[in-house]
Amino acid sequence: MNLAVCLNQVPDTSARIKIAPDGKGIDSAGVTYVINPYDEFALEEALKLKEKFGGLVTVFSVGDDSFQQNIRKALAMGADKAVLIKSPIKDAGDVAYVLSEAIKAHFGGMPDAIFLGKESTDFNDAQVGAMLAEIFDVPCVSVVVALETDGKTARLEREIEGGKEIIEVAFPFVLTAQKGLNMPRVPNMKGIMAAKSKPIEIQEIPLKAASKSIVLNLDKPPQKQAGKIVASAAELVNLLHTEAKVI
Amino acid sequence: MPIVLVFIEQRDGKIKRASLEALSKGAELAQGGKVVAVLIGNNISALAENLGKYGATKVAVFEHELLARYAPTAFAKLVVKVTKEEAATLVLLAATAMGKDLAPRLGARLGAGVVSDAIDIKEDNGKLIAKRYAYSGKAIATVALESEMKIFSIRPNSFPVKESHSGTPEIVVSNYNPETADLRDVVKEIVASAGKLDVAEADIVVSGGRGLRDPKGDGKQNWENLERLAQVLGGAVGASRAVVDAHWRPHSEQVGQTGKVVSPKLYIACGISGAVQHLAGMSSSKVIVAINKDKDAPIFQVADYGIVGTVEEVLPQLIEEFKKVVSHN
C-alpha cells in the first residue's frame, strides 16, 4: 500500500504568539515548531496501515529548510521517504496545488490514500484535504476519529456536532485526522538512527495561478480585563441576571 | 452588488441556526440584490418558504431519499450547479462540520478563494475583507479574497439572525437523481450522542477541568453536578485538554487549541486553571465566569466574574441559585 502523508509544522501548543513587526505573521524567535498535532494522528494511522498491509509511507511538506528537523522525526516514527516542497504558497489552495503536483510526480498519480490532519493549528483553514481530493477526483472523509479497513474499502467515523457520521469508501481516498483517531508513537532509538539515512528529496514547485486569499494583517485578540471576584453563588447569579443579562 | 448564494444546512428537517446567520449576512451583503438559498435533503421543501424572512429571494430545493444524509460529492455538485446557473459570485455557509467539509470542495470546483470560520465580513472599496481567528484563537487575521468567486464559511454565534424581510421567495423544487459516483462518500449512518448539545453550538457552556478530579474516583459527584448545572442552564458540557487526555471526558467536549474554539454568550469554567491553549479556545465568549480554589489561577485574568472556592462547595450552590432565576423566566 502506497500512502502519502502531508505534514505541516506549527508553533508548539503552549507557545505564546507574538505578532511580527510587519504585522502579517508571527515572530518565530523563541518559538519551538512541532509537527502539526492533527498531522501526527494522520501519520500514525498511515504507519498502522503500512504495518498491516505492507508498502511505503511517504511524507510531503511544503516549507523551508527549518522543516527538516520535524520531517526527520516523522522518518524516525517510521515513514520511509520524504519530499520537502519549496514554493511561494500563500493560501490553502496553493498548498493543495503544490502538494498534488509533488504527489503526482512521486507516485505517477493518486497513491492508495492521502492522510493529513483535519486542520493545521496555525491557520486553522481546514481546507487542504478536501481540495486535494477534488484535484485527484477521489472521496475525502474529513475529521476522522476511527478507521477500519480490509485494504479494499474503509469504514470511517467522522465527528459532527453531537455525534458521529459513518462513511464507507473504496480506496483510493483522502482522510483528514481528528484527535481521538489514535495515539501517535514516540520515535525509539532504532527509528532515530534509521531516519538518518532515509532520503529527503527537495523539490521546487512554482505556482500556476495567483493566490486567491491574502492575509492583510494579524492582530492579537482584544485583551479581556480581569473582572470582579464575587463572594457567593447568589451574588454571581444575580449579577449574571441583572448586570451581564446573559440569563 | 454580488448575486449571493447561501447553502442552508438542515439535519432531520431542522434548519441550523448558523445557516440562518449566514443567510442574514448574505442578504446584507447582497444590498437588495438576489439571494439564492440552496436546501438539500429528503422531504424538506416545506422549510423553503420560511427562508424568505431572512432575506432569501429564491430557494433551490433538491429532494431525494438518497440525499437524506450528507453526501459530500453530491452536495458539492448541486451547490456548484446552482451557483453557476444563478451566476452567483459570493457563496456563504455556516462553519459547521458539514459546512467546513463542503466549503473547500466548492472552492476547488468553482476556482474560488475560501475563508473559513469568518467572524466578520465587510466591504471595503469594493473588496470583501474578513476577520477570522488564527493560531487557534491566539491571533485574529484580516483576510482579503482576490478571486472573482468568493466563499466564506461563517463561525456559528458570530453574526445575528435578522428576520427583516417580508417578501415570499421563489421556490424551485427539483427531484435530483444522484448518479452512483455522486454517492461514493454518502453518510451511511449517524450515531448520535443521545440528546447532547454540542459545545461549539451551545449558547451556554459549562466546562470542567482537573480541579473536578477523577470521575471514576472522588470526582464523581463533581462531574454529576457539572452536568446538572449544564442541564439547568440548557447548556453544553465542555472540558479542558487535561481531562480529555486523562480519558475523563470525550474529545468532542474539549475546548482549546486541539479541541473546539467556542464563543457562547456565557462560559463557566470550573476547576480549570487556564492554560494558554485553553484560553485560546474560549476567550471570545461574551461573558466568562471562573470558579477556582486558587485565586492566582490565570483563568481569573480573562473572567468577567469569578468565585474563589472549591467546586465541591460552589457547584451545588450555583445549581440552586440558577434554578431560582431560570424558573422565574
In a domain, B116, yes or no: yes
Q: Which of B115, B201, B325 sits opposite A241 (nearest CB)?
A: B325
The three cell numbers locating residue B325: 432565576
DSSP one-letter code for B148: S
Q: What is the mean pLDDT of residues A87-107?
A: 98
Contact B37, B169 (CB under 8 A): yes
CA neighbor of A95 nearest in space, from A115, A56, A125, A74 = A125
Q: Which of B140, B276, B301 sits opposite A219 (nearest CB)?
A: B140
Q: What is the mean pLDDT of residues B21-46?
A: 97
CATH of the domain at B248: 3.40.50.1220
Each residue's pLDDT tens digit, B61-98: 999 999 999 999 999 999 999 999 999 999 999 999 99
Angstrom distances, CA of residue A93 to CA of A210, A211, B135, B144:
10, 7, 19, 14
Q: What is the mean pLDDT of residues A35-60?
A: 98
Q: What is the mean pLDDT of residues B178-202?
A: 88
pLDDT at B8 over 80: yes
Residue B299, domain extent: 204-328
> Same domain, yes or no, for B240 and B292?
yes
Contact B44, B61 (CB under 8 A): yes
Q: What is the pLDDT of residue B307?
A: 97
pLDDT at B268 over 90: yes
Q: How many CB atoms lie within 10 A of CB B148?
A: 13
Q: What is the mean pLDDT of residues B158-187?
A: 93
Contact A11, A33 (CB under 8 A): yes
Angstrom distances, CA of residue B135 to CA of A69, A128, B153, B242, B279:
21, 17, 18, 20, 12
pLDDT at B125 over 80: yes
Cα A49 from Cα A56, distance rounded (Å): 10
Cα A87 from Cα A62, distance rounded (Å): 7
> Same domain, yes or no, for B31 and B153?
yes
What is the distance in angstroms between the Cα of A197 and the nearest Cα belonging to chain B?
33
Domain segments of chain A: what residues? 2-215
CATH of the domain at B26: 3.40.50.620
CA atoms within 13 A on the CB side of B160: 4
Which residue in B has a C-alpha nearest to residue A223's C-alpha?
A: B302
Instruction: Tell me the chain A residues in contact with residue B204 when contact means C-beta distances shorter than 8 Å.
Output: 246-247
Contact B142 A221 (CB under 8 A): no
Q: Tell which B residues from 291 to 320 touch A, by Cβ distance under 8 Å.
A: 295, 300-308, 314, 317-318, 320
Contact B207, B272 (CB under 8 A): yes
> Same domain, yes or no, for B46 and B147?
yes
> Same domain, yes or no, for B114 and B230?
no
Q: What is the pLDDT of residue B193?
A: 77
CA neighbor of A160 nearest in space, from B118, B198, B241, B137 = B198
> Same domain, yes or no, for B28 and B175?
yes
Residues 6+ apart with CB under 8 A from A219: A19, A23, B139, B140, B142
Each residue's pLDDT tens digit, A176-229: 999 999 999 999 999 999 999 999 999 999 999 999 999 999 999 888 787 899
Alpha-carbon radius of gyration of chain B? 21
Alpha-carbon radius of gyration of chain A? 21
Cα B56 from Cα B166, distance rounded (Å): 10
Residue with cell 434548519: B15
Q: Tell which B residues from 260 to 279 touch A, by Cβ distance under 8 Å.
A: 261, 265-266, 275-277
Q: Which of B112, B190, B307 sits opposite A230 (nearest CB)?
A: B307
In a domain, B189, yes or no: no
Cα B223 from Cα B243, distance rounded (Å): 11
Each residue's pLDDT tens digit, A144-175: 999 999 999 999 999 999 899 999 999 999 99
Structural domain count of chain B: 2
CA dihedral B104, B106, B111, B115 (to 10 degrees): -50
| Beta strand ranges found along B9-160 (DSSP E) | 10-11, 14-15, 35-41, 58-63, 90-94, 113-124, 127-134, 139-145, 150-154
Q: What is the mean pLDDT of residues B101-109?
A: 98
Each residue's pLDDT tens digit, B234-257: 999 999 999 999 999 999 999 998
Using 50, 70 and 90 to split pLDDT, how confident is the model at B201?
A: confident
Q: Which CATH superfamily is domain A2-215 in?
A: HUPs (3.40.50.620)
Q: Which of A16, A145, A212 sits opposite B146 (nearest CB)?
A: A212
The three cell numbers locating residue A207: 505556482
Q: Tell which A residues from 111 to 170 touch B, by Cβ distance under 8 Å.
A: 121-131, 133-135, 139-143, 145, 157-170
> Same domain, yes or no, for B160 and B36?
yes
| Backbone region of residue A50 per phi and psi (left: phi > 0; alpha: psi in -120 to 50; beta: other values) | alpha
Cα B267 from Cα B85, distance rounded (Å): 43
In a domain, B188, yes or no: no
Instruction: Tell me the chain B residues in contact with residue A220 when contact means C-beta distances shorter than 8 Å.
Output: 138-140
Task: Return the biggest CA–CA distance within chain B.
Answer: 62
Which residue in A has a C-alpha nearest to residue B234's C-alpha?
A: A247
Contact B140 A163 (CB under 8 A): no
Using 50, 70 and 90 to split pLDDT, how confident is the model at B183?
A: very high
Report the SS3 class of residue B59: strand
Q: What is the pLDDT of residue B328?
A: 55
> Same domain, yes or no, for B10 and B105?
yes
In a domain, B197, yes or no: no
> Same domain, yes or no, for B162 and B242?
no
This prediction's pTM: 0.94
Contact A190, A131 (CB under 8 A): no
The three cell numbers locating residue B82: 446552482
Contact A221 B284 (CB under 8 A): yes
Using 50, 70 and 90 to split pLDDT, how confident is the model at B194?
A: low
Q: Which of A15, A123, A135 sits opposite B134 (nearest CB)?
A: A123
Q: What is the pLDDT of residue B195?
A: 60
> Same domain, yes or no, for B158 and B234?
no
> Same domain, yes or no, for B113 and B246?
no
DSSP one-letter code for B169: P
In a domain, B198, yes or no: no
Q: What is the mean pLDDT of residues B99-106?
A: 98
> Same domain, yes or no, for B173 and B228?
no
CA neighbor of B96 nearest in space, from B10, B24, B163, B14 = B10
Q: What is the pLDDT of residue B191?
A: 92
Each residue's pLDDT tens digit, B311-320: 999 999 999 9
Mean pLDDT computed over every residue of chain B: 94
Q: What is the pLDDT of residue B329?
A: 52
| Backbone region of residue B114 per phi and psi (left: phi > 0; alpha: psi in -120 to 50; beta: other values) | beta
> Same domain, yes or no, for B107 and B145?
yes
Cα A74 from Cα A77, distance rounded (Å): 5
Angstrom distances, CA of residue B297 to CA of B269, B279, B291, B309:
12, 12, 10, 12
pLDDT at B284 over 90: no
DSSP one-letter code for A53: H
In a domain, B195, yes or no: no
Report the SS3 class of residue A83: strand
Contact A6, A177 (CB under 8 A): no
CB of A29 less than 8 A from some CB of B = no
